[in-house]
Amino acid sequence: MEKSEDVFSINEHEVMEYYGLNGEFGKIKLKIKMLRSWILHKWAYSSPLSNFVINLQKSRGVKIGKNCHISPYVMIDLVYPELISIGDNVTIGSNVMIFAHSNPTASKNLKEKYPRRVERVKIDSGAVVNPGCIITAGVTIGKNAMISIGSV
Secondary structure E strands in the chain: 63-64, 69-70, 75-76, 84-86, 91-92, 97-98, 101-102, 117-118, 121-123, 128-129, 134-135, 140-141, 146-147
Mean pLDDT for the chain? 91
Sheet containing strand 121-123, strands side by side: 63-64, 84-86, 121-123, 140-141
pLDDT at 57 over 50: yes
pLDDT at 1: 43
pLDDT at 96: 98
pLDDT for 128-139, tens place per residue? 999 999 999 999
Coil vs helix vs strand at 91: strand
Establish how many alpha carbons lie within 13 A of residue 30's alpha carbon, considering only the half-sphere containing its beta carbon: 20
Sheet containing strand 75-76, strands side by side: 75-76, 97-98, 134-135
pLDDT at 112: 76
The DSSP string of 35-53 is HHHHHHHHHHHT-S-HHHH
For residues 6 and 42, what is the distance between their CA atoms, to the nearest angstrom?
Answer: 28
Domains contained in the chain, CATH given: 4-147 (2.160.10.10)
